Amino acid sequence: MTYYLMITHSENKPSTKKLALISIGALILLVVVPLIMYFALKRNRQKINKQETQKQIGSLYQGVQSDEWTHLLQVFEFLGFRLMFVVLTFSLQKQPGILVNTFIFFNNINIIYIGWVEPFKERSKNLLELANSWVLNLICYCMLLLVNLTPGPEYEFGVGWFMIGLVGLIFVINLTFMSFKSLKGICRYF
């Protein structure tokens, strides 16, 4: 995406055909990578939880259950939705209202998926993921207010600080969760 922005804003702009090929290539890459991850995990799901495998290759998504295919969709969902958000951001720059509503729609799908399937082994990780998605939804609703219903600079200032507060809140929640898990692991070790 950075390369695409560099070449579109340079003085020697490439042809529309070249830009279209770059865009199609990036889109294919953004769709294919999550699918490859999903099918690789699905094919090897019997080996994923073995200690030998984790020592050998590590665990990209530690704690994801691998007993059912719906749990393995967490990897595809995580990578696919994030990459789709990037593509949507660049493609819908001139329609911010549609962009924010699309974010809200797909984030709600994410919330339903995590709440229904519970892809992580630990309940606390599922709750943390739900909290992250809920706060992201609140931030998207704030963006919707800024895009469509802005009566003045004071209003934008208030909504902006509220959004910064939400980002700080989710940062503190995630940091507390990680610190608690780390301390719990250290205490268990000693």
Q: What is the pLDDT of residues 132-146, one digit of tens each?
A: 989 988 988 888 877
Per-residue pLDDT averaged across 62-84, rounded? 70
Q: Let me know whether 74 and 136 are in one domain.
A: no
pTM of the predicted model over 0.85: no
Q: Let me know whether 86 and 59 are in one domain.
A: yes
Could you tell me how far CA 114 lies from the centroid of its own chain?
13
Q: Let me know whether 125 and 111 are in one domain.
A: yes
Q: Let me know whether 105 and 148 are in one domain.
A: yes
Buried b (16+ CB within 10 A) or exposed e, 65-74: bbeeeebbbb
Q: For the segment 19-36, what is each residue's pLDDT rounded down to a tens digit?
A: 677 777 777 776 777 777
Please give the angle made by the CA atoms of 42, 47 and 52, to the nearest 5 degrees.
Answer: 145
Q: Let me know whether 79 and 108 are in one domain.
A: no
Q: Let me know whether 64 and 139 are in one domain.
A: no
End-of-domain residue from the set 49, 65, 91: 91
Q: Let me know whether 100 and 185 are in one domain.
A: yes
Per-residue pLDDT averaged across 64-75, rounded? 67
Q: Let me know whether 101 and 63 are in one domain.
A: no
Q: Let me know whether 69 and 138 are in one domain.
A: no
List C-alpha distances in Å: 171 to 8, 119, 167, 177, 185. Answer: 34, 22, 6, 10, 21
Q: Let me know whether 178 and 143 are in one domain.
A: yes
Q: For the segment 109-161, what is each residue's pLDDT rounded down to a tens digit?
A: 888 888 888 887 788 888 998 999 899 889 888 888 777 666 777 878 888 88
Domain span at residue 23?
1-91
